[in-house]
Each structure stands twice: as structure tokens, then as C-alpha cells.
């Protein structure tokens, strides 16, 4: 099973044989054919996906809310065993389709009604490529300004390389060298407006992370503009059980010495780790990302520290037992970022369907910058 069939596959209503995907749709999926027969020009477009009939949802996880796209919400609620409450994953259009008989005639029968109650009939919405089951999406809204960057476009921007500690709270720490484009340079290239205040980075598994543009008092807020404090290299032999020193860029460094980074440590959109392109992530059976690429936000520590043991470790001894107050930057380094929303969205614009837009971008090695940027830049 290749990555594309495993990840992009999503479908309406019938979830079929979970582990055997066929091309774009789930194998066994039997509803999209009715929609595409009625609206053949919608094949492969915004509406040709599970979000047409299924909604996303959100879960409380480890004290924070994780927003799931329709694929993951369905996987989460209905499950790989297909025993969960499927009806809970349907949106208003999906429910009407089911009620009307779940066939070709049902598509026609519900064309004239306004399933999501946003004032536009299903037919009007479908014609305008708006979701008929999502009241927040309607034909009157215009898309926010956006720019799509390919890998070669990102590589053509000034490149920045930095060696740093990624200090995790609950997993292994590690030192590594990342290369890419500073987020500041990328946003300026995209035409960021003076009115912008921050960015939200999204990955297609539902993760999102906000970053203010300027330094902020909150220790968990990693800013976009400017450099972070320089750090030292902390290497004790006994720490190798909880900190990965195996990266080639660690060689020749000595404990306690300064880490020199030309241009300073920055909030980076990383393209490479140790000079090698980041591996594109896949969604595993547990609904989690395997991998970190093709692009990852890398945030340096605001307050440099040595690595520390996992908070979950039973061995909290020197060197460096877990320190709750130390800067655990790794968790704020969004893996497989596909969308960057520059806040705030301009008035009258519609947000893009974030949780649905990601996997295709990962396959194509693209990233979208949208929101408070200049219209028509480049």
C-alpha cells in the first residue's frame, strides 16, 4: 500500500474494508459514485472527498482539544472495526442523503433543499464549490489571499541552517541540524501585511500551533520574528539514555561549548535534517503521524537548557532529571506542516477547509500560506 492510497483515501458513508484502500476512495465505498454521476465536473475537486457528507470533530486529549478532519473523526468514531456510531460522523448533507435513500435518486431529491441552513440550496453550494453540509462555507464568502509554495520555490529563498536541542517533555530529546527557510523570510516573501499579528501552523492530522510574530511573555509562545538566545552544547555520557547524540552534526562538539549559528537561532520552516530532506509523514493506524516532513516548523528554546529526562521516566536521577520549568520546545515544533494561516483572516473571507487540505499537499510537497497577506503577490 503506497502512501497516497493509504492517506488520501477517504469516502462518504460506507467505510468498507478499512485496511484495503483502492486509489482515492475507500475500497467498498459506494456513495460517491452517486454524487459524481450527478455532478461529474466535481470529480477530484474540493467536494470529491469525505467532508462532503462527513463532518470533522474534536476530542479532548491530554488536556487540550485536538480538531480532527472528517477522515480521522470517522476513524475515531466509527473505528477500524466499523462498530462505532457512524451517524455521528455525518454532516447535515450526509444525513439528508441517508434519509432520502442513499442512492442516485437521493442526490437529486436533496438538490433543492438547504441542508446546512446557510441560505443557499445544496445545488447552489455544489455549483460554487462550497460544502452543502457546512454552514460556515457558503457561496458569498471569498477565499482569503493565498500563496502556494513548491519545494523548489522554498529552496530558492535564502536558506538558514541551525544546530539545536529539541527538548521533549515526554519523549526522547535530541540534538540535530535543521536547514530551511526562516518563517520570517517566508512570510515576507508571501507579502505579510503590517496588520498581521501571528500565524497558526496546521498539519493534516488535526494538530495546530499558534505563534505570535513578536516575543511574548508566555513560555509556550514561540515567536516568529527575530533570533532566539544562543545555547550551549550539553553532553554527558550518562545522558545518552534519554538524549539522542547520534546526529552527524554532534560530532566534534564538546560539553559546555557554545553553539554558533550564523544568523542566530530562528523559528524555522525546516526542509532538511542533517542535510537530508525530511521524510514525508504518513498517517498510521493509530491516527498519528509517522515522520515529520516534508516540512516542519522548528522552534528553538526561549530559555536554553540541557536536555532532561522524560516526565514519564521512572528514573529521575542526575544527570538532568525531568524539570517541568525547563523549556520543552520540541512539542511546539509542528511536524508535517501544510498550511500556515496568517492571522487575522481578512474580513469577508472564508477559511479554507484546513483539516481536509493537508494530505494532498504532503504528497505534492507543497505548503500554503494564506490569510493576512497581500492579494496577488507574485
Q: In the complex, which residues of this chain contact Ca ion (CB under 5 A)?
A: 114, 116, 118, 120, 125, 137-138, 167-168, 173, 308
Q: Considering Cα of 152, then 154, then 160, then 165, what sign does the dihedral take?
A: negative
Residue given cell 466509527 in the structure block: 78
Q: Are the C-beta atoms of residues 110 and 93 closer than 8 Å to each other?
A: yes
* Choice between 3 and 232, CB closer to Ca ion: 232
| Dist CA 64 CA 16 (whole Å) | 31
Q: Are the C-beta atoms of residues 45 and 82 closer than 8 Å to each other?
A: no
Q: Helix or strand or coil: residue 127?
A: helix
| Dist CA 103 CA 309 (whole Å) | 56
- Give, for 148, the enclosing helix (H) or strand (E): strand 146-149
* Choice between 44 and 112, CB closer to Ca ion: 112
* Smallest distance from Ca ion to CB 302, Å: 15
* Smallest distance from Ca ion to CB 326, Å: 7
* Smallest distance from Ca ion to CB 217, Å: 23
| Dist CA 355 CA 184 (whole Å) | 24
| Dist CA 47 CA 38 (whole Å) | 13
DSSP 8-state class, residue 124: H
| Dist CA 222 CA 209 (whole Å) | 10
* Smallest distance from Ca ion to CB 365, Å: 31
* Smallest distance from Ca ion to CB 153, Å: 33
Going by C-alpha positions, the residue among 172, 176, 182, 173 that lies closest to residue 163 is 176
First to last CA, the chain: 38
How far, rounded to the nearest angstrom, does the alpha carbon of residue 299 sit from its chain's CA centroid? 16
3-state DSSP percent of the chain in helix, strand and coil, to 5: 25, 25, 55
Q: Are the C-beta atoms of residues 109 and 101 closer than 8 Å to each other?
A: yes
DSSP 8-state class, residue 353: -
In angstroms and rounded to an integer, the radius of gyration of the C-alpha atoms of the chain is 23
**140, three cell numbers:** 458569498
* Choice between 287 and 313, CB closer to Ca ion: 313
* Choice between 241 and 284, CB closer to Ca ion: 241
* Choice between 18 and 39, CB closer to Ca ion: 39
* Choice between 73 and 320, CB closer to Ca ion: 320
* Smallest distance from Ca ion to CB 358, Å: 21
* Choice between 135 and 185, CB closer to Ca ion: 135
* Choice between 167 and 209, CB closer to Ca ion: 167
Going by C-alpha positions, the residue among 339, 333, 360 that lies closest to residue 351 is 339
* Smallest distance from Ca ion to CB 173, Å: 4
How far, rounded to the nearest angstrom, does the alpha carbon of residue 229 sit from its chain's CA centroid? 27
* Smallest distance from Ca ion to CB 138, Å: 5
* Smallest distance from Ca ion to CB 81, Å: 32
* Choice between 157 and 169, CB closer to Ca ion: 169
* Smallest distance from Ca ion to CB 313, Å: 9
Q: Helix or strand or coil: residue 345?
A: coil
* Choice between 31 and 125, CB closer to Ca ion: 125
Amino acid at each position: 500500500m503506497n502512501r497516497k492510497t493509504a492517506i488520501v483515501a477517504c469516502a462518504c458513508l460506507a467505510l468498507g474494508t478499512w485496511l484495503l484502500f483502492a486509489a482515492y476512495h475507500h475500497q467498498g465505498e459506494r456513495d460517491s459514485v452517486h454524487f459524481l454521476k450527478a455532478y461529474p465536473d466535481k470529480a477530484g475537486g474540493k467536494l470529491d472527498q469525505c467532508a462532503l457528507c462527513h463532518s470533522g470533530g474534536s476530542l479532548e486529549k491530554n488536556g487540550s482539544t485536538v480538531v480532527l478532519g472528517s477522515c480521522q473523526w470517522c476513524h475515531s468514531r466509527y473505528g477500524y472495526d466499523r462498530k462505532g456510531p457512524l451517524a455521528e460522523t455525518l454532516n447535515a448533507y450526509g444525513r439528508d442523503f441517508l434519509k432520502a435513500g442513499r442512492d442516485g435518486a437521493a442526490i437529486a431529491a436533496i438538490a433543492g433543499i438547504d441542508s446546512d441552513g446557510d441560505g443557499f440550496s445544496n445545488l447552489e453550494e455544489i455549483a460554487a464549490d462550497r460544502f452543502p453540509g457546512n454552514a460556515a462555507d457558503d457561496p458569498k464568502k471569498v477565499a482569503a489571499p493565498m500563496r502556494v509554495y513548491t519545494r523548489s520555490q522554498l529552496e530558492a529563498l535564502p536558506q538558514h541552517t541551525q544546530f539545536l536541542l529539541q527538548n521533549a517533555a515526554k519523549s526522547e530529546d535530541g540534538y540535530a541540524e535543521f536547514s530551511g527557510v526562516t518563517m520570517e523570510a517566508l512570510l515576507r516573501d508571501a507579502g505579510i501585511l503590517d496588520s498581521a499579528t501571528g500565524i497558526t501552523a496546521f498539519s493534516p492530522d488535526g494538530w495546530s500551533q499558534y505563534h505570535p510574530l513578536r516575543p511574548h511573555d508566555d513560555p509556550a509562545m514561540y515567536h516568529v520574528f527575530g533570533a532566539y538566545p544562543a545555547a550551549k552544547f550539553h553532553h554527558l555520557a550518562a545522558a545518552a539514555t534519554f538524549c539522542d547524540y547520534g546526529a552527524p552534526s554532534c560530532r566534534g562538539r564538546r560539553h559546555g561549548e557554545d553553539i554558533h549559528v550564523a544568523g542566530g537561532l530562528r523559528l524555522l520552516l525546516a526542509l532538511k535534517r542533517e542535510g537530508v530532506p525530511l521524510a514525508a509523514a504518513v498517517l498510521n493506524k493509530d491516527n498519528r503521524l509517522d515522520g515529520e516532513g516534508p516540512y516542519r516548523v522548528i522552534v528553538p528554546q526561549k530559555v536554553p537548557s540541557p536536555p532532561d529526562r522524560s516526565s514519564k521516566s521512572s528514573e529521575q536521577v542526575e544527570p538532568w532529571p525531568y524539570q517541568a520549568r525547563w523549556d520543552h520546545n520540541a512539542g511546539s515544533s509542528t511536524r508535517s506542516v501544510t498550511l500556515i494561516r496568517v492571522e487575522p483572516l481578512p474580513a469577508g473571507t472564508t477559511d479554507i477547509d484546513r483539516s481536509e487540505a493537508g494530505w494532498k499537499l504532503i504528497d505534492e510537497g507543497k505548503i500554503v500560506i494564506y490569510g493576512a497577506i497581500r492579494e496577488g503577490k507574485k
